[in-house]
Amino acid sequence: MGETTVFEARRIITMDPSCPEATHVAVRDGRILSVGTASDFVGLPLDQRFAEAVILPGFVEGHAHVMEGTLWKYTYVGAGERRDPAGKRVAGLASIDAVIDRLAQAHDADPGDSVLVGWGFDPLHIAGARLTRRDLDRISPDRPIVVFHASLHIIVANSRVLDLAGFTSETAIAGVVKHEDGAPSGELQGIAPRLRLLRALGWTSWTGDLEPADVVRFAGAAQVQGITTIADLHNDLPARTVEIYRAACTPDLPVRIVPALASASCAPEEGVARIAALRAENTERLRFGLVKIIVDGSIQGFTARLGAPGYHNGAPNGLWYVAPDDLKRIVGIYHAAGVQLHIHTNGDEATDAALEAIAAAQEKTPRADHRHTLQHCQMARPEQLARAKDLGLCVNLFSNHLYYWGDVHRDITIGPERVARMNPAASALRMGLPFSIHSDAPVTPLGPLFVAWCAVNRMSSSGAVLGPDERLSIEQALHAITLGAAFTLHMDTQIGSITPGKQADFAVLADDPLTTPPEALKDIAILATVVGGAVHPTAARA
């Protein structure tokens, strides 16, 4: 049995209703021993480095992707300013020409024959312009070039890549966008054409070949935001990736990582067997067991499946990444095997399909406390939330969308009425439906306090308040990024609150979020994290 250390703070917000506040927390052997005030710990070793700070449970990011660690190897071409892992500001781009210029500079700096990759492209923030292969061919007709849209649901390829993948005017695959003359435009939507592209490039995932340094960057980017547990919520998990994860997830890694197997990577029968084998080797830093199913695309990419009245601007409905009948079959197999599912549904028509699939699975194989979770679930109607609760589901809402694309959703994609109930956190709370909120990094930047700020203020980038009746209080938002998120990962017995017996995982803040004005919540500095009792200062503190 190890020594006991007592951390002192100005205030400890525990998320434990039996002891909601404290000033001291005792840690032994990586777990929380007890919580209280100074008089409860007389004579024990006292760590006072956080005596003027505020301690919360370590933040839990229930929906991110390891691409947050890999994409910074490539060229950012998004519309908004962003910080790289070293903290350097990278300016946003306002035109197609600016995107091409930045990619051309990257090509000139390293003119080899490896794939030139851009990421973060967002046509809705540059007057709706579409990037095509003709644009990318201006950089090089011979070098393979691909650009990921911000949503990650669309990839644009140049002619060289289209030729490698065999995309022609004769290609009849849904999601292969074509010019008026029938030739592929280079824009590839949905899973089927993207998988074909990846195979042609020799990649095993959306990000190319994962390297140990990518996992370390992923962990570091999370840690500086106060995150102590993060989900990589869609990964093919080939053997090499699993081994890289196992090698990287040592006791020194400053986060716990929870990868989810991509359902599209294998048949569900094979997936059940793979999950069972992976679970057998779980560690405290690496926890397998989840399966991710993507039902539709993105709202801003017009690939989400919307119910009536459809897209506000009259655009055609989006794509089924998994057809409803196939979804029932896949869900039924995983559900019967006891696997927890995380199901991506952006549009409300996709949410209907997921609810039908879960209902059929529950009728055939009743399971208590399965905690299948609808991810994003952005356009859920009240009756869908009520049905989700009745079926034992959770929802993980994408609050950041209101800031980054709220104005676009109001004016173009779904209209002012539906945007007011988009990501309906307050409705979920009123119904007693377990929920959390997330960043979907790298789609939007990591930062649980910013995610919480979005849910509390529901403000777009232009300053418009969208759906004030769906706003959360600060305390409710903090619950969503701690215990709420831990619940959706089925890890609430281990993390999410500062409770005796749980992992000693904390986020250390410079200011008290419960006394901070709502508009300033996102600006609170993260001083450090504590994972299993080990202190990890952030760059601001180091």
Q: Per the confidence metrics, is the pTM higher than 0.85?
A: yes
Residues 29, 1: contact at Cβ < 8 Å? yes
Pick from 55, 474, 27, 482: nearest CA to 227: 482
- pLDDT confidence of residue 128: 64
Question: CA-to-CA distance for 425 and 477, rounded, in angstroms?
Answer: 9
Run of H or E including 486 = helix 483-488
Pick from 84, 152, 89, 97: nearest CA to 121: 152
Pick from 534, 275, 317, 331: nearest CA to 414: 317
- pLDDT confidence of residue 209: 72
Write the DSSP string, 185-204: EEEEESHHHHHHHHHHHT-S
437: left (phi over 0), alpha (psi -120 to 50) or beta: beta
- pLDDT confidence of residue 367: 97
Would you tell me how many other CB atoms lie within 10 Å of the CB of residue 96? 19
Per-residue pLDDT of the chain (542 residues; tens, 9 = 90+): 789 999 999 999 999 999 999 999 999 999 999 999 999 999 898 999 999 999 999 999 999 999 888 888 899 999 888 877 776 789 999 999 999 999 999 999 999 889 999 999 988 888 667 899 999 999 998 999 999 998 888 999 999 999 999 999 998 888 899 988 999 999 999 888 988 898 888 886 655 678 899 999 999 999 999 999 999 999 999 999 999 999 999 999 999 999 999 999 999 999 999 999 999 989 999 999 999 999 999 999 899 999 999 999 999 999 999 999 999 999 999 999 999 999 999 999 999 999 999 999 999 999 999 999 999 999 999 999 999 999 999 999 999 999 999 999 999 999 999 999 999 999 999 999 999 999 999 999 899 999 999 999 999 999 999 999 999 999 999 999 999 999 999 999 999 999 999 999 999 999 999 999 999 999 999 999 999 999 999 865 44
Strand pairing class (290-294; 256-262)? parallel
Question: CA-to-CA distance for 113 and 538, rounded, in angstroms?
Answer: 38
Q: Is 270 exposed, middle or buried (0-12, 13-18, 19+ CB in 10 A)?
A: exposed
Helices (H), 166-267: 191-201, 212-223, 239-248
Helices (H), 29-170: 67-70, 96-109, 133-137, 159-165
Q: Is 43 exposed, middle or buried (0-12, 13-18, 19+ CB in 10 A)?
A: exposed
Question: CA-to-CA distance for 212 and 512, rounded, in angstroms?
Answer: 36
- pLDDT confidence of residue 541: 40
Amino acid letter, residue 365:
T
Enter the DSSP assignment of 317. P
Sheet strands (E) in 429-525: 435-437, 506-509
At 506 the three-state DSSP class reads: strand
Tally the residues of the chain. Answer: 542
- pLDDT confidence of residue 208: 62
Helices (H), 337-473: 348-364, 382-390, 401-408, 415-419, 425-431, 448-457
12: left (phi over 0), alpha (psi -120 to 50) or beta: beta
